[in-house]
Structure 1
Amino acid sequence: MVSENDVLHIAELADIGIATSELGKFTEQFNAILEYFDILDTLAADDELDRPLVNVFREDEVTPSLPQEEALANSHNPEDGYIRAPKVI
């Protein structure tokens, strides 16, 4: 169970200002969250998944790249084969 002092300590670590009028509500919410974790702890974690694992990534396909002239065609001010960009300081 989380106490109001624990909530104040957590708020200080997270650099979050909590008003004293909200302290009771935050404490209740923290304890409610921890109760959900207690429920989750009762579930068996060593069961196999009911669905098969599927790779969602596509295979890499080698395709010809864009020629340099076409890549620079819409550039306003190309320089030495590169796109020139403004300085960032």
Structure 2
Amino acid sequence: MNPYEKIINTMRKEAGRIERTSDIRMCEMTSGTTCEIDGIELDADDLVVNADLKGKLKQGDKVLMARVSEDTYAILMKVVSI
């Protein structure tokens, strides 16, 4: 195996590892149907939401989100301080 093949194989392994890791993050809703993550505004087209939360989120709510595909995030639950 030449050095280029080794680099490509390493890149493939890393890409697979990154895709398998679950990245759950806390975000703040910027409106009832939008939120911001890493400086990117996600709108309703980018989001899926737990059915119990549909229509109940508002600006300022903190939510836990998981990335489910390259361009889709799932709002798992609303969280509050105790």
Q: TM-score, normalized by length of structure 2? A: 0.27
Bigger relative contact order, structure 1 or 2 (CA pairs below 8 A, ≥6 apart): 2
Q: TM-score, normalized by length of structure 1? A: 0.26
Task: Considering fraction of residues, name the structure with more strand.
Answer: 2
> Larger radius of gyration, structure 1 or 2?
1
